[in-house]
Amino acid sequence: MTAGPSRGRRYVMLLVFLCGFSVIVFRLVTLQVLQAAELTAKADRQHQKTVSFEGARGTVSDRHGKVLAMNVEVPSVFGVPTSLESPATVARHLSPVLHIRTGELEKKLRQDKSFVWLARKLEPEQGRRLEQMSLDGIGVVMEGRRFYPKGPLLAHVLGFSGMDGQGLEGLERRYDSQLHGEKRVTVLQRDALGRTVFPKGVTEQVPTPGHALTLTIDEVIQYIAEKELEEAVFHARAKSGTIIVMEPQTGAILAMAVSPRFDPNVVAKLTPDRWRNRALTDTYEPGSTMKVVVAAAALEEKVMTPGTMVFGENGHMVIANTTIHDHEKLGWITFSEVIQKSSNIGAAKTGMALGEQRLYRYLQGFGFGQRTEIDLPGEVSGLLKAPKDWGRRSVASISMGQEVGVTALQMVSALSTLANGGVMMRPYVVSEIRDAKGHVLKEVLPQVKRRVVSPDTAWMMTTMMEGVVTNGTGAKAAIPGFRVAGKTGTAQKIDPRTGAYSSTQFVGSFVGYVPAESPRLAMIVVIDEPQGEAWGGTVAAPVFRRVGEQVLNYLGVSREDTVKIALAAREN
């Protein structure tokens, strides 16, 4: 009678045991199989933090290897909010070192996160002070910061990069994909107390640096150009200025100076107006410098010769119910004297002799109304309307350098075409790209764009432009011991308030090349809104002379060398 109940209890206990075991098995299957991926990810989030680091940005050097942009290792500080006992206390300690308000730091440190950047790319002294403080939950790691050892030198060409290493302006932006280093992800571990630590050996796991750029720029020539431009803009009380020095035979840019300057190491408080490269982005009416292009077209089309006589109308000529003036009353003069004396009436008659279609075709041939394709960002195409949009006076106006907008780079490229015997080259600033080990990945060779005029036309224009310097409006551009070919330009600016030409705002310029018989340099000087005397021959031509004289001396070009070259060329 007693065996029955005992057996029943055993069955009940067995059933309970089997149910419990089934529940455990079910739970294990759920955790280890069904929810395995989700729980693993959750554990990783609790114990790991991934942070990406990038290899050092590639260096930028001038043509002689002088470093213009480089990376330096500087400290960055991070916090682990989840491991802090008193965020307020830590924030008070950090504030005077980081120069960040206590409240702002405390807000970051109270976040429910295992990793947060507090300040990045600090000064080395700040990093040393942080390490000495040895605050729990606060760590310091070294990061690369872009540094420009020459300060403002070449700043408008180099541009600058942002906090995360991306190129934002200039060459830094244009060649960002080549300059930036390899990205590598590092997993930060949390210890038993929830503190974030860097894995052992992480400092040795350095990502591959970016590629290095070698420029066509010569640091010395750039320094000369910037120094002389700054002085010229200051003395003329001008708004801004630009100088470009170019090799006519290759298109290589030796210097590109813009004033006012800026320091790419300190750009946080600057506006885009300060760092834009005016040599590429700003258009202006070229004034009389355009007469050289129109004259070259007329010679090429044989509607003029250097000796062709042109009547100057005694300084006044009516076209389309408007009057064109010359600054002196000229009678009969040669075509060469039209350029030498910078006659507006002579230029207008030259344009009319060419006609709309031929004038437009040569303006395009010399590169106006289109980008030069230089390897820098921000270049504009300028303004050149099609003949169908021209008015009754447009041919005359364009021939004098009005109704057309050009950049300084376009104008110096056009003059370089004449210096190069009528062949236009593509301007460029990067000559070579190398990898981190110094292997050449790309070598940039001079690129011919097109032939614009014949060598004979180019030589005749050279002779005519020499007359501008020896006995014309460009006398102050003369460099003792050298033959200089060039042209002055003085253009009225449009007053945005009235839409008419201003009587007080001008652009003075000079563009030319030297030595005229075998050009080593083509150069343009543009002074925007000089106060007082604004003639290109007064404010820009002397700057051309000072820069040209110093650069020729630096390059070792002597008067005797140019004479020998010229004689050899004539004998051949």
With beta carbons less than 8 A apart as the criterion, state whether 534 and 510 touch: no
- The answer to whether 62 and 68 are in contact (CB under 8 A) is yes
- CA distances, 491 to each of 82, 105, 399, 404 (Å): 66, 55, 13, 11
DSSP string, 214-248: EES--HHHHHHHHHHHHHHHHHHT-SEEEEEEE-T
* 229 Cβ contact partners less than 8 Å away, ≥ 6 residues apart: 241, 242, 243, 257, 258, 259, 525, 543
Encoded tokens for 365: 């041939």
Tokens coding 264: 């790419």
**Catalytic member of 288, 394, 399, 509:** 288
Q: Is 143 within 8 Å of 73 (Cβ atoms)?
A: yes
- Across 60-195, the runs of DSSP E, i.e. the strands, are 60-61, 67-79, 116-119, 138-147, 160-161, 167-169, 183-190
Report the distance separating Cα 561 and Cα 551, nearest Å: 15
Integer Cα distance of 310 and 346 in angstroms: 7
In eight-state DSSP terms, residue 520 is S
In single-letter form, the type of residue at position 273 comes to D
Give start and end residues of each alpha helix (H) in 514-558: 536-539, 541-555
Closest CA to 263 of 369, 354, 147, 175: 147
Residue 291 parent element (H or E): helix 290-300
- Tokens 């309970």 identify what position? 16
Give me the amino acid identity at 317. M
Distance of CA 412 to the CA centre of its chain: 17
- In three-state form (DSSP H/G/I as H, E/B as E, the rest C), the secondary structure along 144-174 is EEEECCCCCCCHHHHCEECCCCCEEEHHHHH
Q: Taking phi first (over 0 means left), then psi (-120 to 50 degrees means alpha), and beta for anything else, what does residue 103 get?
A: alpha
Q: Which two tokens stand for residue 180?
A: 């930036």
Rounded-to-integer distance, Cα 519 and Cα 484, Å: 9
Instruction: Specify whether 288 is catalytic.
Output: yes
User: Whole-angstrom Cα distance, residue 350 to residue 304?
Assistant: 8
SS3 256: strand
Report the C-alpha gap between 346 and 359 in whole angstroms: 15
Cα four-point dihedral sign 543, 549, 550, 555: positive
Q: Which sequence positions are flagged as catalytic?
A: 288
